[in-house]
Structure 1
């Protein structure tokens, strides 16, 4: 019985070893990890574990659960009533996106979506709140990204001003999941 229990534990992936979060723009999960925003549930301990089904926007986490990747232990990341700090960015600027990875994954792509003009930050994020297509996509064609800091440079949307939300999606090729990170920004 003990051997069977050990075998089952060995087959279940550990959240503690999973997987990655955005440092730039600074995600809600990182604000929680750093203690800048309180009452964040598991996000304060495991910002790298905000992982849910891939295929966004056609599939993936449901509307209102996007920032938490559809996982109840990260539900606080979807709470629009929290005082989420804003990262200051310039519309149209070249931006260096920065992910901190804590586990290796074969990668399909990295995508960045932004909210539409008129988005209501007092409501939970839905697909209808986001521009239809990502404003930046970095293909990876199955490259394995080991635990490291990963950077790629792309242009932020040029016709944005004021408060918006950027949704970063890291789609991995070696699992049925992707990693979701929401960052609140102010376009100057």
Structure 2
């Protein structure tokens, strides 16, 4: 008969318990959360897409170190990729979201998304200076407006925390109807290399604002 030590069983139960807890968080999070920028992927959405099926893999530490530190800091932030929001901002985004905390939405949800503010070699996707941004709106809330900012040339996402003064507003929409995917055309001329695309989505159903950092490599 095969003998399994108590330590092995204990570890297996601990992993199972952790996984069930995270799945519960994800399930309950969907009830009150709504979406994210899916292309170019926001930091937390990209980490979820790449690693949700293998989030405990040791390979993440070397293959995707920024996602690794984010998963280690708070796995529920990745499972709840659609919940990075603040209520009752009233359009005063710069007051609600201080410098250095833009990617976490001003440490919203009790700092759940704090790891997204960490500078480092976040994975990028290649884009020309004119590109199309896709917002995944799971609950079809629409938008009062969507603002898209891009970091100025010379900003270094691998070393610097993002500040409002590092950004240039390049696109703002008007009111947009409901739909599961909303598309915004973006033009960010004069930029090359690694930049952050920062999106503010003011949803239509409530005074509810979402904040997303996406990492791109502009190819000209």
Provide the TM-score with structure 2 as the length reference: 0.68
State which of 61, 65, 87 in structure 1 corresponds to 2:125: 87
| Higher deviation after alignment, 64-73 or 116-125 | 116-125
In structure 1, the residue matched to 2:166 is 129
In structure 1, the residue matched to 2:174 is 139
Distance 2:116 2:167 in 1: 17
Secondary structure at 1:105's aligned position in 2? Answer: coil
State which of 65, 68, 71 in structure 2 corresponds to 1:38: 68
Secondary structure at 1:63's aligned position in 2? Answer: coil
Q: Which structure has the highest strand share of the two? A: 1
Q: Which structure has the highest helix share of the two? A: 2
Gaps of 5+ in 1: 1-13
Secondary structure at 1:38's aligned position in 2? Answer: helix
CA displacement at 1:139 relative to structure 2: 1.1
| Higher deviation after alignment, 158-167 or 55-64 | 55-64
Q: Check conservation: 2:133, 2:186, Cα contact below 8 A.
A: no
CA displacement at 1:181 relative to structure 2: 0.8
State which of 145, 150, 160 in structure 1 corresponds to 2:191: 160
Distance 1:44 1:54 in 2: 27
Distance 1:163 1:54 in 2: 32
Aligned Cα RMSD in Å?
Answer: 2.0
Greater relative contact order (Cα 8 A, min sep 6): structure 1 or 2? 1
In structure 2, the residue matched to 1:9 is none
Gaps of 5+ in 2: 1-27, 52-63
State which of 14, 27, 30 in structure 2 corresponds to 1:16: 30
